[in-house]
Amino acid sequence: MAGTSEHTPLDLPEGDPFGAHNLPYGVFSEGPDGERRVGVRLGDHVLDAGAAALALGSPYAALLAQPTLNPLLAAGRTAWSDVRRALTAWVTVPAHRDTVRPFLHPLASVTLHLPFEVADYVDFYASENHASNLGRLFRPDEEPLKPNWKHLPVGYHGRAGTVVVSGTDVVRPSGQRKGPADPAPVFGPSVRLDIETEVGYVVGVPSAQGTSVPLASYRDHVFGICLLNDWSARDIQNWETVPLGPHLGKSFATSVSAWITPLDALDAARTAPPERTVPLLPYLDDTDATDDPAGYDLRITVSLNGHVISEPPFSGMYWTGAQMLAHMTVNGASLRTGDLYGSGTISGTEENERGSLIEMTWNGQRPLELPDGKRGFLEDGDVVTMTAWAPGPGGVRVGLGEVTGRVVGHR
């Protein structure tokens, strides 16, 4: 189409972060109640991947003409690469143009859904800066990191059934809370509702119970990543967490982006994690994997009601997705298709790189000054949006889908 000034959906502007180098997967429908179908994002359009596959007589139609990503997730790494190669051809080879174009829908005209059926959900705590900040806040008289922190990726099991897609309203949770000066706990809507800026890893290929997944098998199991907001009620969490882990302060809602970015789109963003300062046990030791790094250089932006409040860098995360997966299965726990695990809050070294309000405001003591008012924690009506991009091939960006959510009052 060279020589024309008109951009059709298959002639993306140069450098579009959702160009043919990216091709993240989601699930969409025409109208909220329409039939759900696997979609692939191309610029500001969605390709109905199953319909295109059927029209082209592709052998991958059975994986793509589906209401969820789960069959594709289960198909494994060779199929993931083959399908991606086919999709790339469909959206770039001129001979396919007229066949594919009718299956492109403007993003603004479709409804996006939770793209996969979430099996188990585990959340980690892999940022040294975040863990240190919370240690300083809550245990000022101790070392910021607990003795186990640099020996294993600390995590807990979350609630898979309350993972929701970006755009879903989040109802302010109620629960028990008790401040240090309160004689007894009280019950009511959380008054310290927070965000946690995270990356989620989506597992495709299962593993058998009684076996473990070594570091080197990470990419045989993990299909891709999403952005994740681990909404957290700090007052509920603070009272309930001792001596076990997070429970009702976290389980009311976890938001994920509508688009899953395949690991195959992130090769140019791979980066070595920070230097390990204590020796690791062999199942976690990745110091010899410098030619196969499992960290990612993701640049994240967090906005509150449209105002940028933080830009956490993912490249500084102490633990990688491969290590979290190896740790999660080292006891023989099995993986299932659709398992989701979160990185934990991403915080950088700088004040404007913190991934939660409790860190940004130092437990509410230093409220954010926003054009529409001060914020210690979230108020009803607040909208939190996380976006991200990664370096792609040839300097072009790889866009990650946003995760956004609005806080609504307790019902």
Binding site for Ca ion (CB under 5 A): 123, 196, 230
> In one letter, which amino acid is 45?
H
Minimum Å distance from CB 128 to Ca ion? 15
Q: Which residue's beta carbon is nearest to the bound Ca ion?
A: 230
**Least Å from the CB of residue 251 to Ca ion:** 12
**Catalytic: which of 113, 130, 221, 327?**
130
Radius of gyration of the chain (CA): 21
Q: Which two tokens stand for residue 321?
A: 């997705």
Closest distance of CB 92 from Ca ion, Å: 38
Nearer to Ca ion, 194 or 382 (CB): 194
CB of 143 to Ca ion, least distance (A): 21
User: By C-beta, is 236 or 398 nearer to Ca ion?
Assistant: 236
For Ca ion, give the closer residue by CB, 112 or 324.
324
Distance of closest approach, residue 230 Cβ to Ca ion, in angstroms: 4
**Backbone phi and psi for residue 234, each to the nearest 5 degrees, phi listed first:** -65, -35
Nearer to Ca ion, 22 or 347 (CB): 347
Nearer to Ca ion, 249 or 401 (CB): 249
Q: Count of CB atoms within 10 A of residue 211's CB? A: 12
Q: In the complex, what is the shortest distance from the CB of residue 357 to Ca ion, in angstroms, rounded to a whole number? A: 13
Residue with Cβ nearer Ca ion (246 or 313): 246
SS3 content of the chain, % helix, strand, coil (to 5): 25, 25, 45
Contact predicate 356/196, CB 8 Å: yes
45 classed as catalytic: no
Closest approach of Ca ion to the CB of residue 184, in Å: 29
- The residue (of 230 and 235) whose beta carbon lies closer to Ca ion is 230
Bridge partners for 105 per DSSP: 46
**Catalytic residue ranges:** 130
